[in-house]
Amino acid sequence: MSPTERECVVWQNTQAKDEVHQVLFWEWSKSEAFVFEKMGNGTVRMHALHGSGSGNGITLEVVASKGKAKGGVSFGAWSATGASDDTTYEFRNLEDAQEWADWYVLYEHADKSVADFDDTYNCYYGDCSRKPDMEEITRFPWVPNPEPGVYSLPITDSLAGEGWKERLDALESVRADEPDHKVIHVAEASTQKSTVSFGLWFTVKQTGGGKVSDGLGGQQDKYEAGGGTKAEVSVVTETSLEERKVMTDGKYFTTFTTDSTMGGQIMLAMSGLPMLKGKLGGGVGGGDSTTESSAISVLWNADGTVDHIMFRTSTTTLEKWSEEAGGSVQVGYGPFEVFNAGGYKTWGGADGTQSMVEVTIPMDGLTEEAREMLQGNAEKLFPRDEDGTLDKDAAIDFGKDWSSTYAGDILDEISEAGGARSLEYDVDQEQEGSKASVRVAPIKLWSSTWSEVDTEKTLTSSSLQYIDVNGDSRTVDPAPKCRAQTKDTSGADYYDAGGSDPVTSSHPDGEGYYRDRSVTPVG
């Protein structure tokens, strides 16, 4: 039996926009991203992602100063749920993918114009019953009056309908010009995430004081800019549980992700693969920032049986830099800061490496006994109610010795079926954004952050290690799916016929706007 290997990403560019808003103990967020990927088979894939979330928790920060020194300690705990849409496209080359992405910018702009008009005048599921305002009226030609040389305002009852028709026509025109594309799958995901954070920082004012540029054409105190000595320590632990359903074939993924060291070790034991546990038994040190992440994913068939199970661990080490410009108003009581309100523009970047190891265990080819055992473990990891709904309050039992469930011939089977693939990437990242907040004593009353992040990952090495039928360990370098291959995309029917109706942030109920679905007649 040959080991199963997932498709290999040899280059990836992610362009993401996020915004997060918090008021006291409530938080909500919105995100959008384009992800371009060059695959080992020579094709290019692109993911169009749209997500939103909300949750509750608390953020506390105590800030104190004395003389030239200023420092603080912070703590936060949040729980949030979210939903996202993911459409994956495939293209012959990067040029075709970029052409489609450029078209999408025009499409989303036209779609937003329709959505904004519908929000104002209730035209899609209503009948444009809300009357236009004077600003909208002035956009339409005046109506000739029977008296020569006299013009009258148009009848307002018809204005919204005319404006609606104009925008729908523009949207339909852009939609008809969608470039060549191939939809691989369409998916919807729901996520539950928990985050606990702790931070400690301090600065010492630079001797001599004075002013420095604030990066926005003005001046600010060196102390405010963080001049002199500065140090910061932060620890963030995050876990997430995601259910992702692929609408095109009815299959769905369930994934549990954690960045805790204990969680990672438990997942390695779950895999039952000694080679994987040996490979990832220790962490990677050094660098300005090192993060660990471990995940277990189960791909379920539409009938609830397990298709395959995947384990993945990664270590990302980045050298980061950041700058910010802005200011704040502060009120102190003794050494403590009791009020702070301010806003900043931020920008920065990072570069480094990411090491990833993943194992995919397929159910095909395993004995009935091995399949039943893996199916049972998957159902225990991700329990469901009578209706088949995932129990999102369930958590992995970290006290269980999962490795003891694999023994004898079953362990040999799993070892032969699931190889450990190692991937090494170079990572380069640029980001910019802005943030604002108001804090009274230790409680953050309000905060908002907006960010745009551009991340590029390039594969530098890969290998696949597996156990052959004789029980010997084998290594293939580079990994088969990461080799330079050419998938045949020359056929005239490679690309899909017709439009793909891509999701945008303005779509009602996840569906696009169409003339024939509008309640308001548009002629």
Mean per-residue pLDDT for 45-59? 80
Show Cβ contacts of residue 494 under 8 Å, excluding neighbours closer than 6 positions: 92, 182
**Bond preceding residue 478 cis, omega within 30 of 0:** yes
Q: Is the dihedral of CA 158, 161, 167, 168 positive or negative?
A: negative
Higher-scoring residue by pLDDT: 470, 409: 470
Q: Is the dihedral of CA 90, 309, 416, 284 positive or negative?
A: positive
**Which residues, listed in sequence order, are joined to residue 29 by a DSSP beta bridge?**
20, 53
What is the Cα Rg of the chain in Å? 28
Buried-state track 199-214, b at ≥16 Cβ within 10 A, e below 16: eebbbbbbeeeeeeeb
**Average pLDDT score, the chain:** 74
Higher-scoring residue by pLDDT: 173, 387: 173
pLDDT band at 227 (very low <50, low <70, confident <90, very high): very low
Number of residues assigned to the chain: 523
Mean per-residue pLDDT for 11-30? 87
- State which H helix or E strand residue 106 sits in: helix 94-121
For residue 499, which of 43, 215, 89, 73 has the smallest C-alpha distance?
89
Both tokens of 371, joined, read: 């399949």
For residue 295, what are the CA distances in angstroms to 258, 269, 286, 292, 339? 6, 12, 23, 10, 41
Integer Cα distance of 120 and 69 in angstroms:
53
**Which residues, listed in sequence order, are joined to residue 417 by a DSSP beta bridge?**
none
pLDDT of residue 278: 38
Q: Is 447 helix (H, G, I), strand (E, B) or coil?
A: strand
Q: Please state the φ and ψ torsions of residue 127, each to the nearest 5 degrees.
A: -130, 40
Show Cβ contacts of residue 360 under 8 Å, excluding neighbours closer than 6 positions: 3, 4, 5, 6, 308, 309, 310, 418, 419
Q: Is 167 exposed, middle or buried (0-12, 13-18, 19+ CB in 10 A)?
A: buried
Q: Is 275 helix (H, G, I), strand (E, B) or coil?
A: helix
Using one digit for the tens of pLDDT, what is the confidence trace for 367-424? 788 788 778 878 877 777 777 777 766 555 555 555 555 545 555 666 666 678 889 9
Integer Cα distance of 337 and 329 in angstroms:
11
Integer Cα distance of 377 and 397 in angstroms:
11
- Do 401 and 269 form a contact (C-beta atoms < 8 A)? yes
Give the lowest-confidence range in 115-129, 281-295, 486-500. Answer: 281-295
Q: Is the dihedral of CA 471, 477, 479, 484 positive or negative?
A: negative
pLDDT of residue 155: 47
pLDDT band at 13 (very low <50, low <70, confident <90, very high): very high
pLDDT of residue 427: 93
Q: Hey, what amino acid is at 218?
A: G
Q: Is 128 helix (H, G, I), strand (E, B) or coil?
A: coil
For residue 17, what are the CA distances in angstroms to 30, 56, 99, 194, 432? 8, 22, 20, 21, 10
Using one digit for the tens of pLDDT, what is the confidence trace for 135-163? 454 455 544 555 555 544 444 445 566 77
Integer Cα distance of 257 and 421 in angstroms:
19
Show Cβ contacts of residue 80 under 8 Å, excluding neighbours closer than 6 positions: 27, 29, 53, 54, 55, 56, 57, 192, 193, 194, 195
pLDDT of residue 484: 67
Show Cβ contacts of residue 238 under 8 Å, excluding neighbours closer than 6 positions: 193, 194, 195, 196, 257, 258, 259
Both tokens of 381, joined, read: 């990891």
Most confident of 220-224, 340-344, 497-501: 340-344
Mean per-residue pLDDT for 93-106? 89
Q: Nearest 5°: CA angle at 407, between 405 and 413?
A: 110
pLDDT of residue 275: 41
For residue 507, what are the CA distances in angstroms to 54, 175, 504, 512? 19, 14, 6, 5
Both tokens of 71, joined, read: 């420092």
- State which H helix or E strand residue 290 sits in: strand 289-300
CA within 13 Å, CB half, 287: 17
Q: Please state the φ and ψ torsions of residue 505, each to the nearest 5 degrees.
A: -70, -10
Model confidence, pTM: 0.76
Give the lowest-confidence range in 3-12, 53-62, 102-111, 514-523. Answer: 514-523
